[in-house]
């Protein structure tokens, strides 16, 4: 009877541990897909760092941007573009201007949804990266955190713990089964 209670308690702990490890692994896989895996599908991933596009894109959100032919962009559409060599921005097109010096090239006057005035200089069509397709709120905070040393170390540790949680239960379960088989054989030989 005591042995059954012990086995039941061990099974309960194993079940909880299995649920936690499954959840941890699923979380790591989902984050990897959300931050890196979508690049395999041709999306670029950017974090919203300012409130210029509130309430459409909240600060701390991640946006997924699909490449687009700049000539297909229309007024009212949000575009992601290179503001300068180090800065990417996402604003809404409020006007499309033909380039006066380059025939067949357009420039886009843009404005953040939360801004009262349009941006200063029009965006050249070669600076357009694409159009935002969808967004995930708050995931940008996680992405920014894991891209810097303290967060990177935490992410690596979490991945290691998740792997241990996957491997450890199986190895301890196998050890326990072997131990129970040995105890059963010892009991049988003691009875004889």
- Model confidence pLDDT, tens digit, residues 42-99: 899 899 999 999 999 999 999 999 999 999 999 999 999 999 889 999 999 999 998 8
pLDDT of 135 over the 80 cut: yes
- 52, 57, 62, 68: CA torsion to nearest 10: -90
The pLDDT score that the predictor gives to residue 52 is 95
Query: Could you tell me which of 102, 21, 90, 3 has the C-alpha nearest to residue 49?
Result: 90
Structural domains of the chain sorted by starting position, each given as residue range(s) with its CATH number in brackets: 2-35+148-191 (no CATH), 41-138 (2.10.109.10)
Q: What is the DSSP letter of 41?
A: G
Q: Is 138 left (phi over 0), alpha (psi -120 to 50) or beta?
A: left
Q: Which residue has the higher pLDDT, 49 or 171?
A: 49
**Averaged pLDDT for residues 3-19:** 63
**Opening angle at CA 132, ends 33 and 146, nearest 5:** 40
Return the pLDDT at 170.
Answer: 58
Percent of the chain's residues with pLDDT above 70: 77
In the predicted structure, residue 21 carries a pLDDT above the cut 90: no
């Amino acid at each position: 009877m005591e042995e059954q209670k012990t086995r039941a308690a061990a099974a309960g702990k194993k079940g909880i541990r299995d649920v936690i490890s499954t959840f941890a692994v699923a979380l790591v896989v989902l984050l990897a897909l959300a931050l890196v895996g979508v690049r395999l599908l041709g999306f670029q991933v950017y974090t919203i760092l300012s409130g210029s596009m509130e309430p459409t894109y909240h600060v701390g959100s991640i946006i997924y941007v699909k490449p687009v032919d700049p000539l297909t962009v229309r007024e009212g559409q949000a575009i992601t573009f290179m503001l300068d060599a180090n800065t990417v921005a996402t604003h809404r097109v409020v006007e499309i201007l033909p380039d006066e010096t380059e025939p067949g090239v357009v420039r886009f006057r843009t404005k953040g949804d939360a801004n009262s005035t349009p941006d200063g200089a029009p965006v050249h069509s070669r600076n357009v990266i694409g159009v935002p397709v969808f967004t995930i709120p708050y995931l940008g905070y996680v992405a920014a955190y894991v891209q810097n040393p303290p967060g990177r170390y935490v992410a690596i540790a979490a991945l290691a713990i998740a792997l241990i949680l996957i491997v450890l239960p199986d190895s301890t379960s196998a050890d326990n089964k072997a131990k129970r088989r040995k105890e059963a054989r010892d009991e049988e030989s003691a009875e004889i």
